[in-house]
Amino acid sequence: MKIDATDFKMVKYDDAIDEKTFQRFAKLIYELSGIVINEQKRSLLQARLIKRMRKLGLSSFKEYLQRVNQDTTGTELVELLDVISTNVTHFFRESEHFRVLAEVLQDLERAGQKRIRIWCAASSTGEEPYSIAMTACEALREVSEVKILATDISTKVLASARLGVYPENRVSNVQKVLLDRYFTRSKTADALSWQANSSLRRLIQFSRLNLAETPYPLKGPLDVIFCRNVMIYFDNTMRQKVIREFVRLLRPGGYLIVGHAESLAGTLARADLKAVGSAIYRR
């Protein structure tokens, strides 16, 4: 078969994003999501924008910025946030937090509390909320009144999380006994995969939520909030804004769990939170 090169449209992209356009994107992204895009992240932003531009057939960063600004439906704004969001996660990441969670849940059950509410504020592709759900199922005698809200800014990762299907290499951190108990294995011609069972999925509600947009449309009080490895992308102003909302939604005695790499120093001065463990705070 003869291929005519004229049948293919080759798009040539700008070599680099210019300073003015970069600053406009950085300002827009910060206003939309609270994520700080500094000079060190210029090349990362550029690479990710090109991926989206390729799908749209655009060759200029200015063209894409214009497309975003002129989109009255808000669809392209969501696509932009999907592109720039970083989603690195795995099951039982920072495992000490799940040991503490089990103890907290057991304490609540012993105190006679039936209704338990947990918010996973950065669910990514679902490994964290499913880890929370497994922890609850293992720690409690009765989980019918446990509800987990799992939110993320990215619609793409939420779609993946709702399916709860993971290839073999993604479940390597899950103990075999838990994998057999809470996941179903399936095999295709290409690979093995595991899907979270209904016993886990029924505990979790997935929903899109932007942490930069306050007040959050949630009803408290919440017993535990997981917000790990998200606030490292925020400046101090945005962190304070987010922490205020967490405190508002937590019940007295409730727990906020953040990432080990995150420091809330400078944001707790006026917050009703006390450090009680490694990256664990209590209202």
In this structure, the answer to whether residues 117 and 253 fall within a common structural domain is yes
Report the number of distinct structural domains present in the chain.
2
| Selection from 69, 73, 65 nearest residue 21 by Cα | 65
Q: Is the pLDDT of residue 9 over 80?
A: no
Q: Is the pLDDT of residue 5 over 50?
A: no
In this structure, the answer to whether residues 147 and 240 fall within a common structural domain is yes
pLDDT band at 236 (very low <50, low <70, confident <90, very high): confident
d(CA 186, CA 261): 36
**Separation in Å, CA 266 to CA 218, 235, 239, 269, 278:** 26, 11, 10, 6, 17
Report strand pairing: 183-187 vs 192-196: antiparallel
CATH of the domain at 80: 1.10.155.10
- Of 84, 107, 122, the domain-final residue: 84
In this structure, the answer to whether residues 249 and 118 fall within a common structural domain is yes
Domain of 263? 96-165+198-282
In this structure, the answer to whether residues 144 and 233 fall within a common structural domain is yes
**The pTM is what?**
0.82
The pLDDT score that the predictor gives to residue 33 is 83
In this structure, the answer to whether residues 70 and 210 fall within a common structural domain is no
In this structure, the answer to whether residues 136 and 44 fall within a common structural domain is no
Please list the active-site residues: 48, 152
In this structure, the answer to whether residues 107 and 235 fall within a common structural domain is yes
Digit-coded pLDDT (tens) for 93-114: 999 999 999 999 999 999 999 9
Q: Is the pLDDT of residue 144 over 80?
A: yes
In a domain, 183, yes or no: no
Digit-coded pLDDT (tens) for 193-231: 999 999 999 999 999 999 989 999 998 899 999 999 888
In this structure, the answer to whether residues 13 and 133 fall within a common structural domain is no
In this structure, the answer to whether residues 215 and 253 fall within a common structural domain is yes
Q: Is the pLDDT of residue 14 over 60?
A: no
In this structure, the answer to whether residues 235 and 115 fall within a common structural domain is yes
- Of 84, 111, 144, the domain-final residue: 84
Residue 281: how many CB atoms within 10 A of its CB? Answer: 23
- Of 84, 114, 148, the domain-final residue: 84
The pLDDT score that the predictor gives to residue 6 is 40
Q: Is the pLDDT of residue 264 over 60?
A: yes
In a domain, 186, yes or no: no
